[in-house]
């Protein structure tokens, strides 16, 4: 059965980069006036030629966001269950080569974290672990996903890529969505930064969204780690190709896009291609014009200033008050962070920012009247 790999092999990385850089102001203006973007239009909006058009681009993105999503912005929080990892990646604080203290939460610690997160008002949770399939794999998930789901109305996951059968099983345990980022779509660069472990398998990771969709997972999150390759524009274009393929092939699933830029971490590298905040805003607006119905998410990796200005334009999902280490909410233990957050404001401060901008914070993704059922068989409260 075909996967996105088939389409990926038809794409030429260097040619895509040349096409993007060759776009003119006239190409940008045509894209801004198009009712529906073509691939060439999207390339124009990613191009250097589009940066002087950031104001009309942002206005168009905001108009489409309000039309589709109204004035609401969803809140979510990541819960880091473990920083154990069997991969060696040059850019990640969880990398196995970093000689730092490791921690995996047990049942009591998970309950403490869930209760601390609920006290903050969140009802939409993202579970995060390092990639260690023996100690933090399906046996661990079978034991603790139902426990966690009983606390929250919606549950997402960002862990190692799993099989279609595993995803189907996790769906029965209460899993709603999975975020899986390719990191970079440039194969040689990918291999240069993934030195040991299962994550070295570029194509297994590339086909993960296909397995998710075939397992019936409701929401699938995509993204590239901006700055890992030496051409962030081409990586962003490849994310768009991946999204368009998935929307056409698996229209039953919803999709989410994130735009993580490299952040400081233990043993981390510097960016191979720098994207400034104006360029990040440009890219996010371009994706809104390409995919008006897709959720755009912005995490605490970015600065308070950028988030305050970008969220009212095109973002409909944000994290706030995030801790990127196991046990970060209940005990504040100084375990290894995956990366250093930039926006350290409390959830209440971020919510107040949204209200001042005329937006409504929403702390959950689903409610009981929508028919979601917990693992115990009762309707989620």
| pLDDT tens readout for residues 186-233 | 999 999 999 998 999 999 999 999 999 999 999 999 999 999 999 999
Predicted pLDDT at 377: 44
| pLDDT tens readout for residues 10-60 | 999 999 999 999 999 999 999 999 999 999 999 999 999 999 999 999 999
Q: Indicate the SS3 state at residue 132.
A: strand
The band of 365, judged by pLDDT with boundaries at 50, 70 and 90, is confident
DSSP H helices in the chain: 4-10, 13-21, 25-32, 39-46, 54-69, 107-119, 138-149, 164-172, 187-193, 202-206, 208-214, 232-249, 277-290, 304-314, 347-356
Tokens of 200: 């070295």
Bridge partners of residue 126, in order along the sequence: 78, 156
Tokens of 138: 């399906």
Mean pLDDT of the chain: 91
Lowest-confidence region among 85-94, 340-349, 369-378:
369-378
> Looking only at Cα atoms, what is the longest distance across the chain?
60
Query: 260 phi and psi, to 5 degrees?
Result: -70, 130
List of domains in the chain:
4-366 (3.20.20.70)
What is the C-alpha to C-alpha distance for residues 222 and 219, in angstroms, rounded to an integer? 10
What is the C-alpha to C-alpha distance for residues 337 and 117, in angstroms, rounded to an integer? 18
What is the C-alpha to C-alpha distance for residues 190 and 41, in angstroms, rounded to an integer? 27
Q: What is the mean pLDDT of residues 146-151?
A: 96
Is the Cα dihedral 334, 335, 339, 344 positive or negative?
negative
| pLDDT tens readout for residues 271-326 | 888 899 999 999 999 999 999 999 999 999 899 999 999 999 999 999 999 998 89
Q: Does 369 score more than 70 pLDDT? A: no
Global pTM value = 0.93
The band of 264, judged by pLDDT with boundaries at 50, 70 and 90, is low
Bridge partners of residue 179, in order along the sequence: 221
Tokens of 336: 């290894």
Tell me, what DSSP letter sits at residue 357? T
Mutual angle of helices 39-46 and 232-249, in 10-degree steps: 150
Bridge partners of residue 330, in order along the sequence: none
**CA 362 to each of CA 72, 255, 324, 337: distance values in angstroms, whole numbers, following the listed order:** 7, 19, 22, 27
Distance in Å from the first CA to the final CA of the chain: 40
**Are the beta carbons of 94 and 128 closer than 8 angstroms?**
no
Q: Are strands 154-158 and 177-179 parallel, antiparallel or unpaired?
A: parallel
Predicted pLDDT at 381: 39
| pLDDT tens readout for residues 161-180 | 999 999 999 999 999 999 99
> Within 10 Å of residue 239's Cβ, how many Cβ atoms?
22
């Amino acid at each position: 059965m075909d996967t996105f790999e088939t389409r990926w092999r038809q794409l030429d990385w260097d040619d895509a980069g040349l096409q993007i850089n060759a776009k003119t102001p006239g190409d940008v203006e045509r894209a801004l006036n198009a009712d529906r973007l073509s691939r060439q239009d999207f390339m124009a909006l990613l191009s250097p030629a589009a940066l002087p058009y950031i104001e009309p681009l942002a206005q168009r993105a905001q108009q489409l966001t309000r039309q589709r999503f109204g004035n609401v912005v969803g809140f979510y929080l990541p819960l880091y269950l473990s920083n154990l990892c069997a991969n060696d990646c040059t850019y990640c604080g969880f990398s196995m080569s970093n000689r730092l203290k490791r921690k995996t939460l047990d049942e009591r610690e998970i309950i403490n974290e869930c209760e601390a997160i609920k006290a903050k008002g969140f009802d939409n949770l993202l579970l995060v672990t390092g990639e260690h399939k023996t100690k933090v794999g399906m046996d661990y998930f079978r034991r603790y996903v139902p426990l966690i789901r009983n606390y929250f109305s919606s549950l997402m996951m960002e862990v190692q890529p799993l099989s279609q059968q595993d995803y189907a099983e996790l769906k029965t345990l209460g899993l709603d969505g999975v975020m899986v980022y390719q990191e970079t779509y440039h194969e040689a660069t990918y291999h240069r930064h993934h030195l040991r472990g299962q994550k070295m398998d570029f194509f297994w990771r590339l086909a993960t969204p296909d397995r998710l969709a075939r397992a019936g997972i409701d929401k699938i999150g995509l993204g590239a780690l901006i700055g890992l390759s030496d051409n962030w524009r081409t990586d962003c274009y490849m994310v768009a190709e991946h999204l368009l393929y998935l929307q056409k092939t698996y229209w039953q699933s919803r999709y989410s896009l994130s735009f993580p830029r490299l952040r400081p971490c233990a043993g981390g590298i510097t960016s191979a291609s720098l994207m400034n905040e104006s360029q990040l805003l440009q890219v996010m607006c371009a994706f809104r014009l390409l995919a008006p119905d897709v959720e755009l998410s912005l995490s605490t990796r970015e600065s308070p200033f950028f988030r305050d200005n970008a969220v009212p334009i095109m973002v409909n999902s944000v994290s706030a008050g995030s801790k990127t280490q196991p046990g970060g909410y209940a005990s504040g233990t100084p375990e290894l962070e995956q990366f250093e957050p930039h926006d350290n404001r409390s959830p209440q401060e971020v919510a107040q920012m949204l209200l001042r901008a005329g937006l409504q914070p929403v702390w959950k993704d689903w409610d009981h009247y929508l028919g979601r059922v917990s693992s115990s068989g009762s309707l989620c409260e």
